[in-house]
Every structure is written in C-alpha cells, then in structure tokens.
Amino acid sequence: MIRIFLRQLPFIKNAAIIALSLVVGALALTGPANAQRNEAAESFVNKLASEAIEILGRESLSPVDREAAFRMLFVGNMDVPRIGAFALGQYVRTPTSEQKVEYLRLVEDFIVKVYATRLSDYTNQVFNILSSQPKGNRGTEIIVTSQIEFKTGRAPVPVEWWLLRDGDSFKVFDVKVVGIWMAQEQRSSFISVIRNNNGDFNALLTHIEERIGEKADEINSKLTDAETAGG
Amino acid sequence: MKNESGKGFIRIGVAGISLALLLAGCATRPDAGDTAATAAYEEANDPIEPLNRYFFEVNNFLDIIILRPTAEIYDGVLPRFAKNGIRNFLDNLRSPVIIANDLLQGQWDRAGTTTSRFGINTTVGLLGLGDPATGWGYQRHGEDFGQTLAVYGVGEGPYFYAPLLGPAPPRDLVGFGVDTFFDPITYIFWDDAYTVPVTRFVLNGIDLRARNLTTLDEIERTSIDYYAAIRSLYRQSRSDEILNGVTDVDALPDISNINLSSDF
C-alpha cells in the first residue's frame, strides 16, 4: 500500500504543482480586482456615514446641538476649500482675498446645511459598503461605493464617495446620491449666478447668505418635526 | 372637424414659440476676452437660456396652480395600495418601449428581464396592477430611445427646456418622439382626441409629481439657482441612466490641482 503510494508520489507531486499553479493563476486573475479595493478608505466611509446618520437621528440632542455635532463631524472630514474652489469653475480666479475668506465661511455653512437636509431623510436606515476603486493613477483619489437599505423594502439608494488621501486618512470631496454628484450640482448653480450677474462675485455671496438664512429655519423645523414624530 | 381645429391649435402654438424665440433671442455669448465667462457659457451649453428660463417659469406657474395641488390631492386622498397599483400599471404599460430599447442597445439580459416582468405582471400581477416580478428577482429598470441614441454615441446637444415636457435637449426630444412610435398605447384610441394616450400622459405626470413633492421642495430650497440646479440634476441623472447606474471613474473631472487658498 505504502509502496504504491510512494511509487505514485511523483505523480501526486506533479498534480499538486499543477493544482497550485492553477490556484496562483486564478489568484493572479482575480488579484487586481481585489487589490484595487481600498480597505482603509472603505472603513473611513463606513465610520463617517454611520456617525452622520447616527447624529442626525439622535433624539437626545436639541436640533441646534444636533446640527453643531453634524457640522463638527462634517467639517473635519470634508475638503471644503477644494469643494468651494471646484464650485466656482474658472471664476475661481476672480474673487479678492476678502471675498475668498467670506466665500469659504459661507460655503462651509451652506454645504453643511445642504448635506444635513438631504441626509436627514436617511436616518434609521441600514448603511452598507459595497466596494471601492482608485480614480486616476496617482493613488490619491478613491471612489467608494455604498448603499442605503430601507427597512420598508423600498429599493436601496446607491451612494458613492469621492475621497482624497489626506496624510494617514482621507477627506471627502464629493458624494453621489441617486446619480447626482452634489459638488457638480453646486458648481452649476454657483457659476450660473456669477455669470448672470455679469461676473459680480458679491452677487454669489449674497445669494448664498440668503439661502443659509432660510435654510437655518427650515432645518430647525425639520429636525423639530423629526423629534416630535420620534418622541 | 376636431382634427382640423387640433391642427390649427398646433400651428398657432408653433408660430407662438417661433415668435417667442425671435423676441427672447439667444443668450448673449460673452466676450472672448472674458475667459471665465466664456468657460461658464460653454460649460452650461445653454444657448437659449433666457427662453428656457421663461418656459421654466411658465411650468413652475402651471405647477403651482394645477399640477402641485392635483398631485397633493392625489397623494392625500388615495390609499397607498391604490397609488402603488397605478404606478405599477403605468410602469407595466411602458414595458414594450423598454424592451425595444433594451434590444436596440444589445442588452439581451435586460430585455429578457423586462419581457419576464411584462409577462408575470400582466398575468399574475392582474393586468400590471401588482408587481410580483420584483419579488421574484426581476428588478425594474427604465430605458428610452434618448438613452439608446446616447449608447450609439449621439451627444445630448444644447439644453432645451420645453413647456409642459420639462428638460428635453434635442437627443432626448427625438427619443421621446421615437418612443411614442414604439409604444402600442399610441395606436389605441377610441376617438380623435386620443383619450388613452393623453390620459396616460396626464396620470403619469400627476403620479410622478406626487412622488416628488418633498424632494423637489428640498431641491428648490437648497439651491442658489433653482433653474441651473435642475439643469445639472437632469444632465447628471440622464448620464447615470445611460450608464445604467455605473460610475465611469475616468469621466470624472480632474480635481487634484484645484484650490482656493494658494492665491491668498
């Protein structure tokens, strides 16, 4: 018995080598797809999204505190200056230093409010990371794909995150919800306002200021509604 | 007689639109020296912006006085199962158009899915009022001839905002026309007034509006320029539909070198 086994050993060895090379080959084929996924980026998004959804749905906080908590989380993790610059298109060269400072302050406020309004529809839902892939070949940008699943059985909402490497961590440049990149949408509006006011940058600042004022009221009433509905 | 007056009405409409075009003129192309304004003008790709904004306002006005109140009543009065039944029924009626475009795009699997959905929902789903197909693993997807043209490489063309119809740049306007030919409903009519297709168009509009009551409000309140925001949303959601929801990473803009702070 043992002798037969020994006699067949070379064959078994060959078979093993063939099997091993097949496995290696298969790994090499699937390898790139897996290697393209970025675990650090995925866990960054998972943490950020879960915290954002948790904060917006936290009922123990007053609406004002809730927005403050969301802002803290948001501003620390978003690349606001880059979003602001992107939203201006070629007009990025036109504001004076004072206008730039004012613009950055307003745009941060504005974006926080836009995101808080749109994300507050998704509180108390299940968030899942699906995949990630690099953008460009510098290795500095990553697109993370995720979805929000509904307990009601409604079709899940796809959400994509455009990340930029920032030291050991990441910053979010843009988020795509149901096919819409938010920064792209802002850019379209911002450029349109400046152009339709003959390049007057102050017109944009005024428009943003007006919207922030209105939205502050709206967000407060929305969060209060959620509170009364929840409590 | 009815047909005659209908044609007359269309003729007056066409004349009116041409007159409006003449009166409103086109958006003035910025001075070539003003690079930022020129870039903005080209990025917007909206040469008849003043006219489009006018139609946008007209539609918003009609929305406020007719569509929105109707949609609110529809949303408030009908129970959820009735609204879902109507949506399913309308979706099911659209299946032949979706199958035709799935096939034209060479998407055999998706054509199969739509065909299965149509068969299941028309029979088990009681003439399309129910949607058992989704539960059986046949998820719904939309398709139209505008998307088919895009798959064949036809560009969207300059932006056009049509009265009643909403955003309809040339490619999608042509698509809308061709889809009407694909649609069996177009050929079903009991009288000259095209009762069935017209009813379907109106009901579809009311149902869509009712489903987007809060979403559209939210967009209006979170945008600095509602018209430009809708233009961007339309284009983005169209390109997302054309790619069937898959992000084309290479088509995204290069943002690695833009910044605001370095010029301080």
Tell me the pLDDT of chain A (231 aa) as tens digits: 455 544 555 555 565 555 555 555 554 444 445 557 888 899 999 999 888 888 887 878 777 888 888 888 888 899 999 999 999 988 988 899 899 999 999 999 998 888 888 777 777 788 899 998 888 877 789 999 999 888 776 778 889 999 998 888 899 999 998 888 999 999 999 999 999 998 899 999 999 998 888 656 665 666 666 555 543
pLDDT of the residue at B56: 94
| Domains in chain A: ranges and CATH | 39-230 (3.10.450.710)
Q: Contacts of residue B240 in chain A, CB cutoff 8 Å?
A: 179-180
The residue of A78, A79, A90 whose CB has the most chain B CBs within 10 angstroms, and thus the best one to mutate to test that interface, is A90
Report how far apart, in Å, the C-alpha atoms of B111 and of each of B99, B139, B177 are: 5, 12, 21
In this complex, do B225 and A193 lie within 8 Å of one another by their Cβ atoms? Answer: yes
In this complex, do A81 and B261 lie within 8 Å of one another by their Cβ atoms? Answer: yes
Q: Given the structure tokens 């299941």, which residue do they identify?
A: B120
Model pLDDT for residues A13-72, shown as the tens digit of each residue: 565 555 555 555 554 444 445 557 888 899 999 999 888 888 887 878 777 888 888 888
What sections of chain A are H helices per DSSP? 2-36, 39-57, 63-77, 80-86, 97-119, 182-196, 201-230
Question: In angstroms, rounded to a whole number, what is the distance separating the alpha carbons of residues B134 and B88?
Answer: 11
What stretches in chain B show pLDDT beneath 70? 1-27, 189-193, 261-264
Question: In angstroms, rounded to a whole number, what is the distance separating the alpha carbons of residues B31 and B79?
Answer: 56
Torsion A119-A125-A130-A131 (CA) sign: positive
In this complex, do B260 and A85 lie within 8 Å of one another by their Cβ atoms? Answer: yes
In this complex, do A138 and B249 lie within 8 Å of one another by their Cβ atoms? Answer: no
Q: Which is nearest to B219 in space by CA: A44, A209, A188?
A: A188
Kindly calculate the radius of gyration of chain B based on its CA atoms and give it in whole angstroms.
Answer: 21
In this complex, do A184 and B260 lie within 8 Å of one another by their Cβ atoms? Answer: no
Both structure tokens of B125: 């789903």
pTM of the full predicted structure? Answer: 0.79
The residue of B147, B225, B235 whose CB has the most chain A CBs within 10 angstroms, and thus the best one to mutate to test that interface, is B225
In this complex, do A189 and B232 lie within 8 Å of one another by their Cβ atoms? Answer: yes
Question: In angstroms, rounded to a whole number, what is the distance separating the alpha carbons of residues B255 and B161?
Answer: 30
ipTM for the predicted complex comes to 0.80
Q: Contacts of residue B224 in chain A, CB cutoff 8 Å?
A: 186, 189-190, 193, 204, 207-208, 211
pLDDT of the residue at A32: 46
Question: In angstroms, rounded to a whole number, what is the distance separating the alpha carbons of residues B264 and B261?
Answer: 6
Q: Contacts of residue B253 in chain A, CB cutoff 8 Å?
A: 86
The residue of A186, A191, A194, A223 whose CB has the most chain B CBs within 10 angstroms, and thus the best one to mutate to test that interface, is A191
pLDDT of the residue at B182: 87
pLDDT of the residue at B214: 82
Report how far apart, in Å, the C-alpha atoms of B4 and of each of B7, B14, B18, B161, B188 are: 5, 15, 21, 28, 20
Q: Which is nearest to B162 in space by CA: B13, B8, B41?
A: B13
In this complex, do B245 and A92 lie within 8 Å of one another by their Cβ atoms? Answer: no
Chain A residue with the nearest C-alpha to that of B227 = A189
In this complex, do B224 and A211 lie within 8 Å of one another by their Cβ atoms? Answer: yes
Q: Contacts of residue A214 in chain B, CB cutoff 8 Å?
A: 221
Q: Contacts of residue A187 in chain B, CB cutoff 8 Å?
A: 232
pLDDT of the residue at B24: 55
Chain A residue with the nearest C-alpha to that of B41 = A195
Q: Contacts of residue A90 in chain B, CB cutoff 8 Å?
A: 35-36, 39-40
Pick from A81, A134, A215: which is nearest to B259 by CB?
A: A81
Question: In angstroms, rounded to a whole number, what is the distance separating the alpha carbons of residues B6 and B204?
Answer: 23
Question: In angstroms, rounded to a whole number, what is the distance separating the alpha carbons of residues B134 and B132?
Answer: 6
In this complex, do A93 and B36 lie within 8 Å of one another by their Cβ atoms? Answer: yes
Chain A residue with the nearest C-alpha to that of B231 = A188
The residue of A152, A196, A218 whose CB has the most chain B CBs within 10 angstroms, and thus the best one to mutate to test that interface, is A196
Report how far apart, in Å, the C-alpha atoms of B40 and of each of A180, A195, B12, B95 are: 20, 7, 35, 40
How close is the nearest chain A Cα to the Cα of B230, in Å?
8
In this complex, do B261 and A113 lie within 8 Å of one another by their Cβ atoms? Answer: no
Helices (runs of H) and strands (runs of E) counted in chain B: 13, 2
Both structure tokens of A116: 């808080």
In this complex, do B224 and A140 lie within 8 Å of one another by their Cβ atoms? Answer: no
pLDDT of the residue at B19: 59
Side chain identity, residue B160: F
